[in-house]
Amino acid sequence: MALKVAVGFYLIYTVIKLEHSILLNMKLQRTTSPFISVKSSLIHGRGVFAKKNVPKGTKIIEYVGKKITKKQAEELVTISINRHKKDKTVGAVYIFELNKKYDIDGDVPYNTARLINHSCDPNCEVENIRGKIWIIALKDIARGEEIFYNYGYDYEDFEDHPCRCKTNRCVGYIMAEEHWPKLKK
């Protein structure tokens, strides 16, 4: 029995050590793009900015992360929202739908795109292109301009997600534009 426990422990330790090693390598290989740099943002801590002029329609950066099941995503959303309620400096949700079966959890240190802030007047959009999540320019973006997209949150619990974009189109909350008319009731 002791041998089985020791062997089991060794196997678990080896797997954890291997996963840790992979994560360390991933940290070193942070996603990047010739179009962006990360700087301080007036909206929320750090943000992503255009390093050079970005033409409309450009794939700026891929949004990457861990591939997770829908069930795992539901659990992570609950955890993330509770964490955000306790500490507003922490982002709320970094999950994107990949397909009917899987999502992408972008809350990983090597995902530079997770630092892109929300705006009610975005200059980018998110598209799923052949199973990859891309941040794409909606219009020409000038060098030095901050990169934004609308996070598209649901109407449910919208009060928990105030918006800080301060644009002329700002509705005061981070939510999908389709829900904006509900705020005016």
Query: Torsion-angle region of residue 173: left (phi > 0), alpha (psi -120 to 50) or beta?
Result: beta
Domain range summary for the chain, segments of one domain joined by +: 1-30, 32-183
* Partners of 40 in the β-ladder: 46
Q: How many CB atoms lie within 10 A of CB 113?
A: 25
Cβ atoms of 34 and 50 within 8 Å: the answer is: no
- CATH code of domain 32-183: 2.170.270.10
Per-residue pLDDT, 120: 96
* pLDDT tens column, 131-140: 999 999 999 9
* pLDDT tens column, 72-82: 988 887 777 66
Q: How many CB atoms lie within 10 A of CB 29?
A: 9
Tokens 């900015």 — which residue? 49
Nearest-angstrom CA–CA distance, 91 and 22:
24
* pLDDT tens column, 151-172: 988 888 788 788 999 999 999 9
SS (H, E, C) the chain: CHHHHHHHHHHHHHHHHHHHHHHHHHHHCCCCCCCEEEEECCCCCEEEEECCCECCCCEEEEECCEEEEHHHHHHHHHHHHHHHHHCCCCCCCCEEECCCCEEEECCCCCCHHHHCEECCCCCEEEEEECCEEEEEECCCECCCCECEECCCCCCCCHHHCECCCCCCCCCCECCCHHHHHHHCC
Per-residue pLDDT, 27: 45
Phi, psi of 105 (to 5 degrees): -95, 105
pTM for this predicted structure: 0.77
Nearest-angstrom CA–CA distance, 17 and 170:
46
Tokens 């982002």 — which residue? 91
Give, for all 185 residues of the chain, the pLDDT tens digit. 444 444 433 333 333 344 444 444 444 467 889 999 999 998 888 999 999 999 999 999 999 999 999 999 888 877 776 676 676 555 567 889 999 999 999 989 899 999 999 999 999 999 999 999 999 999 999 999 999 999 988 888 788 788 999 999 999 999 999 999 988 65
